[in-house]
Structure 1
Amino acid sequence: MIRKAFKLKVNQGCFAEYKKRHDNIFPDLVEVLKEAGAQNYSIFLDEETGCLFGYVELDCLERWNAVSKTEACQKWWKYMDDIMETNADMSPKSTELKEMFYLE
C-alpha cells in the first residue's frame, strides 16, 4: 500500500463552499478515484491558514497519476478553480509531503 500526503490551499472566505462542493463531489470523479485504487482519501483544513492537508492510500502510482488526465478530473479542476490556488492548467497547486513517521 502506498500512502501519499499533500497540501493544497483554499482561498480565505471559501471554506464553507469548499466543504459544500466536496459534500457533493461529482459521482463520475468518485468512480474514477475508486477505479484508480484510491482508498482512505481524506482532506483536512487548517482554518488559520487555509491550508488543506490531503491523505490517500493507493495500490499503484501510475493509476493515481492517470486520474489527472480524465475528463472527470479536468471538469472538477475547472469547477474548483475559483476557490483554490491553482496552476495555469487549473490543477490545484499541490505540494507532496515527505513521510517522517508511521505507526502501524
Structure 2
Amino acid sequence: MQRKAFKMFLLPGFEAEYKKRHDEIWPDLAELLKSVGIQHYSIFLDEKTLTLFAYLEAPDLTLLDALPAHPVMQKWWKFMRDIMLTNPDHSPVAIDIPSVFYFD
C-alpha cells in the first residue's frame, strides 16, 4: 500500500460547514475514490491555523492522477470552493507533505 499526505486550507468561519459537507459525502464521490483504490482517507483540521491535513492510502497512487478530469471531482471542487483556498480550476490548494518516518 502506498501512502500520501497533503495539506489544504480552510477559509475562516467554515469549520462546521466543512465537517458537515464531508459527513454528507456524495455516494458517487465516495464510489469514485474507492474506484481508484483510495483507502483509509482521513482529513484533520488544525483549528488555530485552519490547515487541513489529509492522509490516504492506495495500492497505486498514480491512479489518483485521473481524478481531476472526472466530472464528479470537478463538481465537488466547485461545491467546496466557497469555503476553501482554491486554484483557478476550483481544485483546492493542496501541498504534498513528504514522508519522513513510518512505523508499521
Q: What's 2:77 paired with? A: 77
Q: Hey, what's the Cα distance between the residues in 1 that align with 2:6 and 2:94?
A: 6
Give the alignment's TM-score, normalised by structure 2.
0.98
Letter in 2 for 1:77: W
Alpha-carbon distance, 1:62 to partner = 2.4
Letter in 2 for 1:25: I
Q: What's 1:89 paired with? A: 89
Q: What's 1:5 paired with? A: 5
CA-atom RMSD in angstroms: 0.6
Identity %: 52
Alpha-carbon distance, 1:36 to partner = 0.4
Matches within 5 A, 1:12-31: 12-31=12-31
Q: Hey, what's the Cα distance between the residues in 2 that align with 1:17 and 1:36?
A: 27
3-state SS in 1 of match to 2:101: coil
Q: Hey, what's the Cα distance between the residues in 2 that align with 1:68 and 1:36?
A: 12
Q: What's 2:53 paired with? A: 53
Letter in 1 for 2:25: I
Runs of 4 or more above 3 Å deviation: none
Alpha-carbon distance, 1:67 to partner = 1.4
Alpha-carbon distance, 1:61 to partner = 2.0
Q: What's 1:68 paired with? A: 68
